Amino acid sequence: MTSDEKPRISPLVVGWREWVALPGLGIRRVKAKIDTGARSSSLHAIDVRKEVRDGKDWVRFRVHPLQRNSKKTVECEAEVLEYRSVKSSTGHASRRPVILTSIELHGKTWEIEVTLANRTEMGFRMLLGREGVRGRFLVDPGQSYFDAHHVPKRKKRTKAAPAKSSGPVATAAVPEPARPESASETLAEPPPQHETESP
C-alpha cells in the first residue's frame, strides 16, 4: 500500500435477524428480520390514529415489540413523512403511513424510513429492508444475533450431570451436537413475507 492509498475498512456484518432499538420511538429492543429482498423497512403498529398538528399529519400508535406478547406495549407518535402503497407477497396492496425514525444496531445510530403495518401474523415485529442497511452492513444469511464484537452469539452447551445411583453406574446423557444456525431454520416461523412498493 502506497502513502496515497487509504486503508480499506472491513465492512460491519449483521446476520439475517438481529435485535435493534428504535430510540426515537422509545423502543429499547425489538427483533428485526434483515430482508434484502424488501426495499422498505416495516414496523408492527396497531391502533394507528391520524392527527393534524400545525398543518402536518402525525400518527399515534401502539407497538408490541416482543413476538407473541401482547402485554408489553409501547405508545409511540411520529410525524408522517408520506403515504405509500405497499404490496404484500399475496398481492394485496395497502396504503401505509411512512415515518422517519432513528434505529440503533451494534453501536451505530442512523435514520430510516419505516412503514407502519399490523404484523401480528408475520414472523417478526420488524422488517429491516435493504435501504436501511445499504452502505452500512453486509448481511451474512448463515448467522444471526451478532454481539458488540461482531461475533455470532452461540448458545452455551451444558453437560448432563451423572445420575447418582447405589446400583450400577449410570451413563451420563450426552446432548446432541448443536446444529449451525442458518437461514433455513425458520420452520417455527411463518414463511418470508416480501413487500414491494407500487410504482
Over residues 123-143, the pLDDT tens digits come to: 899 999 999 999 899 999 999
Q: Is residue 5 assigned to a domain?
A: no
Tell me the C-alpha distance between 111 and 132, whole Å.
8
Is 157 exposed, middle or buried (CB count within 10 Å of its CB: 0-12, 13-18, 19+)? exposed
Q: pLDDT of 165-196, one tens digit each?
A: 555 544 444 444 444 443 333 333 344 445 54
Counting the structural domains of the chain, the total is 1
**Calpha distance 68→8 (Å, rounded):** 43
Cα distance between residue 1 and residue 10, in whole Å: 16
Instruction: Collect all residues with Cβ–Cβ distance below 8 Å to 28 and sequence separation of at least 6.
Output: 21
Residue 74 placed within a domain: yes
Contacts of 46 (CB under 8 A, 6+ apart): 61, 62, 63, 64, 118, 120
Say if CB 118 and CB 46 are below 8 A apart.
yes
Tell me the residue range of the domain where 129 lies.
Answer: 12-152+181-187
List, for residues 8-39, the tens digit of each pLDDT value.
555 789 999 999 999 999 999 999 999 998 89
Q: How many CB atoms lie within 10 A of CB 84?
A: 15
Instruction: Collapse the DSSP code of 91 into the 3-class scheme (helix H, G, I; strand E, B; otherwise coil) and give the result.
Output: coil
CATH number at residue 67: 2.40.70.10
